[in-house]
Amino acid sequence: MPTQDFVSPDSIRAQFSAAMSAMYKLEVPLYGTLLELVGEINQAVMENNPNIAETLRWTGEIQRLDQERHGAIRVGTAQELATIARLFAVMGMQPVGYYDLTPAGVPVHSTAFRAIHEQFLQVSPFRVFTSLLRLELIDNLPLRELAQSILAKRQIFTPRALLLIEQCEQQGGLNAGDAADFVEQALETFRWHREATVTAAEYRQLHDQHRLIADVVAFKGPHINHLTPRTLDIDAIQAGMPKKGIPPKAVIEGPPPRKYPILLRQTSFKALQERVAFTDQHHQASGSHTARFGEIEQRGAALTPKGRARYDQLLNEARHALGGLPAEDNAEHYMALLANTFKAFPDDLAQMREQGLAFFRYFATEKGLAARNDNARPASLHALIEAGHVHFEALVYEDFLPVSAAGIFQSNLGDGAQSHYGSNANQQAFEQALERPVLDELALYAETERRSLQACATALALPALS
Ligand code: OOG
Ligand code: NI
C-alpha cells in the first residue's frame, strides 16, 4: 500500500484526544463545567496580559492551548502495559520518563506517553500518564494471587483494536478509514464499565488492601480516571472552582505562583461516587466505587538538570519546614513556605537563561533577518539577543512531577489510603514490562533547544549558535 494513503499518527492522536474528551464529558459532566471555567479564564488572561498572549504566539502554543489535555490510566499486568505502548505508538505517542510513586504509598510505577518532537506536539500535545500496578509489593500472598488470577482473565483491548495495531505495525500506518475505526476501537479500552469483574466480597478484600488495587483489578478495563485541561492561571481556577460547584483539593501541587511559570502546577477535584454492579449482584448497580476525578494544570518552563535540582531542593525545604503533608488545615502555611523558599529561584527569563536553569526556544526576529547580509552584525548568541536579532522564550514542560503526581493520587484515593512501601524505584523492571526503554525527557528538551538554535542560525545565515 502506498504510504501517501496513510494518515499521520499526529492526526490519529488529535482525533483520539477529541473523542476521549467527548466521551469523558458524557461520563463525568463536571469535566464539561471545568472546561467552561478554563475557557473563560484563559480568555481573560490573554485579554488582560498581552505579554502572555505574545509569548504563546511566539511558541505557537496559542494554537494548541484549547485542545491541550492529559489523561491517566492504571494497568494491571506487564502484558497490558506492553500492548498499551503499541496502541499509543499508532498515535505517535512514546513512553517518556519514569516515575516511582512508592515513596508516597502508592504501589505503582509510571511513564507518560506523548509525542516527542515540537512539531508533533504542536499538532496535538495529548499525553497519558500510565501507571502499572506492582502486585509484588503486596505482602498479603493470597490476595496477590487473587488479584493476579482476576487480571489474567481479562482482555482490555477489542479484537479489532488488536488487529489494527498489528496492521499498522506491519504496513507502517493506517489509512483514513482504518484510522477512524482504530480511534473508535481504542476508545473502548478507556471507557468506564459499571459492571465489575468481581464479587462484592472480593471487591472489599481488594479495597481493604489498597483502594488503588480495587480500582485496577475489579473492573473490565483501565478506565480513564481524569482528563486535564491546561489553564493559563491556576490560582484563578482554584478560586473559581467552588463558585461553579466544583470542590478543589486543598493545595495546588508544584511550584508557587510566579511571573514566569516553571514546570507544572496542578489541582484536582474529588473523585465521584459511582454505582457499580458486582458479579453476585445480578447487574443491579448496588455497590459503589470512587475512581474518576477532574484535574487542571498550568505549564511553565522545562528546567535543565541544574534547574530541576534547584526545584527539587526548594520544594523539599518547604515540605520539610511544614513538617507533614500539605492538607486542608495547613494549606495557607504551606503556600507561604513555598513562596519563601522559592525566592532563591530567579523569576526572570533572562536570568534563568544566563544561569542555565531552563531550556529555551530561539527565534530570528525581523530585525535579525533584515541584517542577514550585514557583515558587521553580532555573531554570538548573547550579542544577537542584546541586539534584538534573536528572541527567546522558555520551552514548555511536557512531562509530570512525581511529588505532584503522588499528591494527585492521594487527593482522589482519600487520606486513609496512605500506606508505606519505602522507595522501590525499579526502572529496569518497568522497562522489561513495557518491552522497550522509556525516553529521557531531558534529552528531548535539549534536542528541541538545539533544533531551534540551528533554525535560527540558518535563518540568519550564521554558523552554528550555542
Ligand atoms: C495519576 C495521577 C498522576 C498527574 O497529573 O500527575 C497524574 C492517577 O491518579 O492515575 O495524573
Ligand atoms: Ni493528571
pLDDT single digits (tens) 156-177: 999 999 999 999 999 999 999 9
The whole-angstrom separation of Cα 225 and Cα 292 is: 4
In this prediction, residues 332-338 reach a mean pLDDT of: 95
Mutate to test the pocket of ligand 1, among 111, 226, 263 (most ligand atoms within 8 A of CB): 226
Instruction: Tell me which residue has its CA closest to atom 7 in ligand 1.
Output: 405
pLDDT in tens, 18-70: 999 999 999 888 889 889 999 999 999 999 999 999 999 999 999 888 888 99
CA of 133 to the centre of ligand 2 (A): 17
Ligand 1 atom nearest to 228, measured from its CA = 5
Centre of ligand 2 to C-alpha 72, Å, is 6
CB-neighbour burial class of residue 23 (10 A; exposed 0-12, middle 13-18, buried 19+): middle
Taking the CA of 131 as reference, the closest ligand is 1
Point out the ligand nearest to the CA of residue 409.
Answer: 1
Cα 441 to Cα 426: distance, rounded to the nearest angstrom: 18
Q: Nine-digit cell at 314?
A: 526548594
Q: What is the pLDDT of residues 105-117, one digit of tens each?
A: 889 999 999 999 9
**Every domain of the chain and the residues it spans:** 3-300+398-433, 303-347, 360-394+436-466
**Please, which residues have CB less than 5 A from ligand 2, an ion?**
72, 228, 295
Residue whose entry in the numeric block shows the C-alpha cell 459532566: 29
pTM: 0.95
Phi then psi dihedrals of residue 284, to 5 deg? -90, 125
CATH class of the domain defined by 3-300+398-433: alpha beta
Task: Name all residues whose Cβ lies below 6 A of ligand 1.
Answer: 72, 74, 129, 131, 225, 266, 295, 400, 404-405, 408-409
Ligand 1 nearest-atom number relative to CA 404: 6
pLDDT at 420 over 70: no
Q: Please, which residues bridge with residue 268 across strands?
A: 295
Instruction: Quick: pLDDT tens for 77-86.
Output: 999 999 999 9
- Dihedral of CA 157/110/219/128: which sign? negative
**Ligand 1, atom 4, residue with closest C-alpha:** 405
**CA 329 to CA 354: how far, in whole Å?**
39
**Which ligand has its closest atom nearest to the C-alpha of 401?**
1
